[in-house]
Structure formats: structure tokens, C-alpha cells
């Protein structure tokens, strides 16, 4: 049977990682892989995570299953982190949260849930969007349509075109939105735009599906969740997929959550029972360790304070790198959009040919789309990158 299979092309990001590892130059710079890096180029274990793990090691008494819904304490605390402790949807019992294997698990289980609700569900996704969104949703045989999001000339949100396109959506269609730190562009909706898209969704009877993987790495924990909180308050139904990979640094622990916000508690209970049935038929139960770490941090005041301080420092570092890169590239053109964008990613707006030159001549690695990981820069590498960029952009075509 296996002899019928053909080798698939390598994932672009994984291929870039392999090429980077094989590059023997000592001054090479990796701006492609989407993980947070510190000034030393490492993806560190956060201090609060280290402390929580030590406490778990000393107090954990069992490795028994935690059930398809995951850890109850984790689910409750993640709901409060996303919505704020006094949100009306929480008070009204409209919120149900289940733990998932990472943000990917949340996205895929949401897709399976939507298929149960309506087999021919149409999901609208932004152009561009995170590369794995379409495979995760399309893998559940949902219909995918796209709406314009990024103006390639200004590298800002093309909001009027986005709204005009979504006017074509029909009642019951799903709109996938990035809660903050849009991946891959870094161009986010502002407060007025969140209000306008909420009006449109409410008027047309659409279902918002918000992917928020970077809460706390854009502006701060509360502001990054403004869109989620607004929609949860105003709309009868919202789906939210969240991840602890970036803001807790728990990449390999695969810790995420899926939130269903329903019109009332009774509908929420019925919806969650269907979701748990889908989970049971896919991976049965989520892993425990990462969620236990997050639960301990969020439920322990001194660990919570330490985590927030470290997360804030990471956020400020990214903002400072954005400002520094924007200023360093100013002689080569208008790169002010980098400073206006938020989160770990930005498009530089250069051509694939220029990307190739940067890779081959200068050892600077980024995706062909020119998406870079801002957090991959440092005080040492930023001058190298900006100087190379200025030289390449200064060459005549």
C-alpha cells in the first residue's frame, strides 16, 4: 500500500530551518522561525514557569487522566485571563472552556465542532493569514473563503475592502479573526474597527471565530483582548481559540484552550457536550503538564506577578526592536509601518528576489514573503540586518 505514496514538498518554514542549520557562517541571522527569542538568541523558560514546575514536582501525586475537557482550574482561569474576571458573559454562565493540545488543537476541534453544527459551514479567513489556518479548517471539510485584510502598498489593514467583502457573507457563516498580533503581518484592528466588525457580524448573523495566540505580546494583556471581550459582551455566540505557547513560553508542552460563548447557559451546556464528543473521538484527552503549570501561575499571586512582569518585559523588548528597526531602515524608504504594527511578525514588503539575496549574500534568513520574526533580532544583529537591507534596497533593479 505504501508504494503508492509520493513524497510531499517540505513545509517552507521547516525547509528554511534546515537550510539555516546547514549554513556554516558565524554571522547568520534567523528571522524565519516563529518563536520568541531573547537577546542571546535563546527561547528561554520563563522564571515563573520554572518555579511552577518545581512546585509541581514537589506536590504532584498522580499521572492519571484529566478527562476530555482538561483541567477544570486551568479552564476557569484561562476564561478569566481572556475575558477579565468581571466580564458579563462569565457572570451569566455563557462561557465554557476546554483544554486542548495547543492552539492548533483548539482550531481543529473548533472546525470539527462547526461541522457538527452545520456540515456545509463556510469560514471566511483573512488574506494573508497564518499558514496553518486553512489546512486545519479545511481538513475538517469546511468551506473556505477569503476576505482582503492587508494593503500591500501600505502594509496596514485594508479595512474598507475587508468590510465590503464580508457584506457578501451569509447568515450562519463564520468569520475567522486574529485577536491581536496578526500573524503574519503584525497589522491589527484598532478599537473602532473592532466595534465596526462587531456591528457587521451582529447585523448579518455571522459567527465570529477569534484566534488569539499572542495575548500580552502586543500592547498588554487587557488591550490585546479588547476584541474578544467586546464580541463576548455584545454577541450571542463567539468561538475563541487561544494558546499558551507564546505568552507562557510553553511551545513544546502544547497547551491551548477552546472557548465557546453561547446565548445562555443551557445552550452552552449542549454545545460543550457535542464538542467533548468530538474531542473524545480525536485525541481523547489533552496532556496535563503545561496546563498544570499555567493553572499554578494564574492561581498563585506571587507567580502571577512574576509572570506578568516577565511578559511585559518581552512585550516592551519587541516594541523597542520595532522602533529601532524602523529607524535603522529609514534611509532606504518608509518603514514606519514596522513601528505601528504589533506582535512578533511583520512583512518587510520586499521581493522574493531581495529575500534570496539577503539569504545567500548576507546569511539573513526570512520567509520568501518577507515575513520576519521581530523577536529574532537583537542589539547585535539588528545593525547587521539593517545594513544589509539598506544595501540590497539601494541596488538598481
Can you state the angle between helices 47-59 and 301-329, rounded to 10 degrees? Answer: 150
Residue 211 designated active-site: yes
CA distance 177 to 28: 35
Q: Rounded to a whole number, what is the distance in angstroms from the first to the last CA of the chain?
A: 51
Q: Which of 246, 278, 306, 328 is catalytic?
A: 246
Q: Which of 213, 278, 306, 328 is catalytic?
A: 213
Q: Which of 130, 140, 188, 241 is catalytic?
A: 130
Residue 307 designated active-site: no
Residue 64 designated active-site: no
Residue 130 designated active-site: yes
b/e per residue, 92-130, with b = 16+ CB within 10 A?
eebbbbbbbbbbbbbbbbbbbbbbeeeeebbbbbbebbb
Question: Pairing mode, if any, of strands 150-151 and 156-157?
Answer: antiparallel
Q: Which of 211, 257, 291, 375 is catalytic?
A: 211
Q: How far is CA 336 from the centre of its chain?
A: 23
Q: How far is CA 196 from the centre of its chain?
A: 22
Give the active site residues.
130, 211, 213, 246
Amino acid at each position: 500500500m505504501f508504494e503508492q505514496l509520493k513524497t510531499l514538498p517540505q513545509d517552507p518554514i521547516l525547509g528554511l530551518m534546515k537550510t539555516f542549520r546547514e549554513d556554516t557562517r558565524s554571522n547568520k541571522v534567523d528571522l524565519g522561525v516563529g518563536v520568541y527569542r531573547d537577546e542571546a538568541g535563546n527561547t528561554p523558560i520563563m522564571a515563573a514557569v520554572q518555579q511552577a514546575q518545581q512546585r509541581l514536582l514537589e506536590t504532584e501525586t498522580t499521572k492519571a487522566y484529566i478527562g476530555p475537557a482538561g483541567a477544570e482550574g486551568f479552564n476557569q482561569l484561562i476564561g478569566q485571563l481572556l475575558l477579565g474576571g468581571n466580564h458579563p458573559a462569565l457572570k451569566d454562565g455563557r462561557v465554557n472552556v476546554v483544554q486542548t493540545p495547543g492552539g492548533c488543537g483548539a482550531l481543529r476541534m473548533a472546525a470539527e465542532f462547526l461541522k457538527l453544527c452545520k456540515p456545509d459551514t463556510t469560514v471566511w479567513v483573512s488574506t494573508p493569514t497564518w499558514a496553518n489556518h486553512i489546512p486545519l479548517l479545511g481538513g475538517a471539510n469546511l468551506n473556505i473563503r477569503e476576505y482582503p485584510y492587508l494593503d500591500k502598498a501600505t502594509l496596514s489593514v485594508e479595512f474598507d475592502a475587508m468590510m465590503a467583502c464580508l457584506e457578501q457573507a451569509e447568515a450562519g457563516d463564520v468569520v475567522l479573526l486574529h485577536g491581536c498580533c496578526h500573524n503574519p503581518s503584525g497589522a491589527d484592528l484598532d478599537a473602532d474597527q473592532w466595534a465596526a466588525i462587531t456591528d457587521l457580524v451582529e447585523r448579518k448573523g455571522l459567527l465570529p471565530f477569534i484566534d488569539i495566540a499572542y495575548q500580552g505580546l502586543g500592547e498588554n494583556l487587557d488591550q490585546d483582548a479588547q476584541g474578544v471581550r467586546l464580541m463576548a459582551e455584545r454577541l450571542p455566540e463567539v468561538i475563541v481559540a487561544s494558546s499558551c505557547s507564546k505568552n507562557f513560553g510553553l511551545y513544546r508542552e502544547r497547551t491551548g484552550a477552546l472557548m465557546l460563548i453561547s446565548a445562555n447557559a443551557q445552550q452552552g451546556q449542549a454545545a460543550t457536550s457535542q464538542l467533548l464528543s468530538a474531542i473524545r473521538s480525536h485525541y481523547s484527552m489533552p496532556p496535563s503538564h503545561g496546563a498544570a503549570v499555567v493553572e499554578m501561575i494564574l492561581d498563585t499571586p506571587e507567580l502571577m506577578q512574576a509572570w506578568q512582569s516577565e511578559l511585559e518585559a518581552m512585550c516592551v523588548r519587541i516594541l523597542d526592536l520595532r522602533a529601532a528597526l524602523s529607524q535603522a531602515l529609514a534611509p532606504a524608504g518608509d518603514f514606519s509601518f514596522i513601528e505601528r504594527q504589533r506582535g512578533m511578525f511583520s512583512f518587510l514588503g520586499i521581493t522574493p528576489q531581495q529575500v534570496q539575496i539577503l539569504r545567500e549574500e548576507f546569511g539573513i534568513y526570512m520567509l520568501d514573503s518577507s515575513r520576519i520574526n521581530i523577536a529574532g533580532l537583537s542589539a547585535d544583529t539588528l545593525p547587521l540586518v539593517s545594513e544589509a537591507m539598506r544595501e540590497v534596497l539601494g541596488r538598481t533593479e
